[in-house]
Amino acid sequence: MAERPLSPHLQIWKWGPHMLTSILHRVSGDGMALVGLPVLLWWLGALASGPQAYETFASVATSPIGYIVLVGLTWAFFNHVCSGLRHFVLDIGAGYELDTNRTWAIAANVLGVVLTIAFWAVVLAKQGAF
């Protein structure tokens, strides 16, 4: 049997922030598709069905589990946007230097969290929760 070269695998690659950013980009996109779309359709259906249906949706959405889902979807959105902008910059040929790539990978993840916190701070402040 001939010796064939092996493809690189997790034992060879060094873990880096760019790998985390790539994985989270995929996870956030899948999360928005698999969780966000049904929530959006339920919200639209509740809007179209009248006050009682919307009240049911609103009571579930403002429950603790509902807030967890909504905060998770918000994080998925902002993380996906920030990571997508990073990928856009890479697609135009910029940001491939190791330090620049590492910095923007970290910044994309941190900015997704910061924007999520800021968004919910504004939402909760408008509701008078603070």
Could you tell me the pTM of the whole model? 0.86
Instruction: Sketch the domain layout of the chain as residue ranges.
Output: 18-127
Look at domain 18-127 and name its CATH class: mainly alpha
pLDDT 10s digit of each residue in the chain, 130 long? 667 766 666 667 778 899 999 999 999 999 999 999 999 999 999 999 999 999 999 999 999 999 999 999 999 999 999 999 999 999 999 988 989 999 999 999 999 999 999 999 999 999 887 6
| Residue 87 annotated as part of some ligand binding site | no
Contacts 24+ apart (CB under 8 A), 16-24: 16/102, 16/105, 17/102, 17/105, 17/106, 17/109, 18/101, 18/102, 18/105, 20/105, 20/109, 21/83, 21/86, 21/105, 21/108, 21/109, 22/83, 24/79, 24/83, 24/109, 24/112
- Written as one letter, the residue type at 37 is L
